[in-house]
Amino acid sequence: MSKISLLSRAVALLSVLCVMGLPASAQNKAGPGPLVLQSQGSFFVGGRDVKSDTLSTLPAYAPSGTITVDQMYVHYEVPANAGKHYPLTLIHGCCLTGKTWETTPDGRMGWDEFFVRRGYPVYVIDQSWRGRSAGSVAAINAVKMGKAPVDQLPTVFSAGHEGAWTIFRFGPEYPKVYDGMRYPLRAQAEFWKQMVPDWSNAVPTPNPTVPALSELAQKLQGTVLISHSQSGIYPFQTVALSTKGVAGIISIEPGACPNAAGDLTPYKTVPIMVLWGDNVDLSPRWSPRLKGCRAFVAALNAAGGKAEVLVLPEMGIHGNSHMLMQDNNSLQIAAMLDTWIARHVGHRP
């Protein structure tokens, strides 16, 4: 199927969804009613033991010993009515944690719960070395203890509000706001609290999150990987390791798509959606990334793949930021994803 016909189909589908709007349950101000879970819990995937002599500079904790790093924290909820839905795995982006998908800064339902209510088992991860997934501070203590030079301090950064404002496309530059912006800016302070330091430059490539995602996908015997921004490329890197367990990929505003001129074999058999918000073409950071994704999807489909790029304003949905899972139409977009999954990924046999 050509890119054009795929797009036409998607536009038609999305138009219907826009007219339909949200399900009554999500619009009900009195609350959506009880949530019935079959099970919930958390666990880790991956991880390796590392010995170090610079774990601590405090007398109460030994400097030498073994720690475990690279594991990926996973929290899950399985609804009582899961049926044959494939589980969804929600993978946050730069400088954020699994909190991304939970209650929005202005207190609305997150995608985690929305999809559970739609019948999907939902797995929310913290990337390796982030949130509840441990990293190591041994390199810091090695310098502090005089055992390593200063230039061996890890490359770790925080994104400041001012820079993040532009990166997350709330506006062209801090504190200007794009017309019709759907991000709940009145709760902006709550969003800033979600941001954490980012160690992804201090870990190997691909990020240890990637093999952990592959292990999780195989454990689940099928999951749709939903990634965002920095982690946008992870599902592609995951299927490059193994297509086992990856039932579909939804990559939201990825930092990169795979190279259109590279080996496209791993991506051919997996249904893929690459989703973009508004004002992308106005952003020197994001505009070339969208172009790269268009080239990748065109090349993949020409080679027999089944991928599509969806750009919300091209479907008549305007004003979405980079954090579209928290925008004021976040559940409308989630409902679109639900429909896309039903059509393109389907259910377990």
Cβ neighbours of 186 (radius 10 Å): 9
Residue 52: name the closest of 133, 110, 120, 136 by CA.
Answer: 136
Q: How near is the Cβ of 323 to a second copy at its closest, in Å?
A: 16
Q: How near is the Cβ of 295 to a second copy at its closest, in Å?
A: 22
* Dist CA 223 CA 87 (whole Å): 5
Going by C-beta distance under 8 Å and a sequence separation of 6 or more, which residues neighbour residue 100? 90, 92, 93, 194, 228, 323, 325, 326
Our CB check for a second copy shows the closer of 64 and 259 to be: 64
Q: How near is the Cβ of 313 to a second copy at its closest, in Å?
A: 25
* Dist CA 68 CA 49 (whole Å): 4
Our CB check for a second copy shows the closer of 77 and 308 to be: 77
* Dist CA 320 CA 330 (whole Å): 9
Q: How near is the Cβ of 225 to a second copy at its closest, in Å?
A: 21
Cα–Cα distances (Å) from 270 to 242, 243, 249, in that order, read 11, 8, 7
* Dist CA 293 CA 41 (whole Å): 35
DSSP state for residue 314 in the 8-state scheme: G
Our CB check for a second copy shows the closer of 76 and 267 to be: 76
Our CB check for a second copy shows the closer of 163 and 180 to be: 163
* Dist CA 297 CA 305 (whole Å): 8
* Dist CA 5 CA 322 (whole Å): 26
Our CB check for a second copy shows the closer of 101 and 234 to be: 101
Q: How near is the Cβ of 64 to a second copy at its closest, in Å?
A: 7
Q: How near is the Cβ of 103 to a second copy at its closest, in Å?
A: 4
Our CB check for a second copy shows the closer of 98 and 277 to be: 98
Place of tokens 């080239």: 295
Q: How near is the Cβ of 156 to a second copy at its closest, in Å?
A: 5
Q: How near is the Cβ of 71 to a second copy at its closest, in Å?
A: 4
Our CB check for a second copy shows the closer of 212 and 310 to be: 212
End-to-end CA distance of the chain, in Å? 24
Our CB check for a second copy shows the closer of 117 and 306 to be: 117
> Per residue in 213-248, is it b (16+ CB within 10 Å) or e — as a string?
bbbbbeebebbbbbbbbbbbbbbbbbbbbebebbbb
